[in-house]
């Protein structure tokens, strides 16, 4: 009888391990992949404001800009791969006395460029805006 009790305990532990493994595998398959993108943005002249917008039909808050900081800037952002294919990614560099500079990508081209290069570089040369007199 003792042998059967030990076997039952061992079988119970094996079943628990198998169930836990299946749960972990299921959770891993359900989550979407996150891509980390490094940005290195400068401007000529330095000190410009940088903003990022991710817009698209499936994005309810697509009109909101995310402020990244002043140039030169080194920042890391994460993007959900499931949200990127139909999206448009826009970077804007703004400096008082200069015209704004904008750069846009469609979602897949953005991720391909960022992943291929390991970092997204951009150094716009800002064009002076004639002063209003």
Domain layout of the chain by residue ranges: 1-31, 34-122
Q: Is the peptide bond before 72 cis (omega within 30 degrees of 0)?
A: yes
pLDDT at residue 29, as a whole number: 47
Angle (CA) 56 57 63, round 5°: 55
**Distance between CA atoms of residues 69 and 67, nearest Å:** 6
Kind plus residue range of the DSSP H or E element containing 24: helix 2-30
Q: What is this structure's pTM?
A: 0.69
**Distance between CA atoms of residues 60 and 125, nearest Å:** 33
Mind listing the pLDDT tens digit of every residue in the chain (133 residues)? 556 556 666 566 665 555 555 544 444 444 568 888 899 999 999 999 999 998 877 666 666 899 999 999 999 988 877 777 788 889 999 999 999 999 999 888 888 888 888 898 999 999 998 875 4
Centre a 10 Å sphere on the Cβ of residue 43 and count the other Cβ atoms it contains.
23
Centre a 10 Å sphere on the Cβ of residue 50 and count the other Cβ atoms it contains.
25
pLDDT at residue 112, as a whole number: 84
CATH class assigned to 34-122: mainly beta
């Amino acid at each position: 009888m003792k042998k059967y009790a030990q076997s039952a305990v061992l079988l119970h532990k094996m079943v628990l391990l198998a169930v836990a493994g299946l749960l972990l595998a299921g959770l891993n398959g359900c989550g979407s992949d996150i891509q980390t993108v490094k940005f290195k943005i400068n401007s000529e002249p330095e000190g410009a404001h940088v903003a990022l917008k991710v817009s698209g039909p499936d994005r309810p808050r697509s009109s909101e800009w995310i402020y990244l900081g002043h140039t030169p800037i080194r920042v890391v952002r994460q993007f959900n791969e499931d949200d990127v294919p139909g999206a448009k990614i826009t970077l804007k560099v703004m400096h008082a006395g200069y015209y704004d500079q904008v750069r846009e990508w469609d979602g897949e081209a953005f991720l391909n460029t960022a992943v291929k290069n390991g970092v997204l570089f951009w150094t716009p040369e800002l064009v002076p805006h004639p002063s209003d007199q």
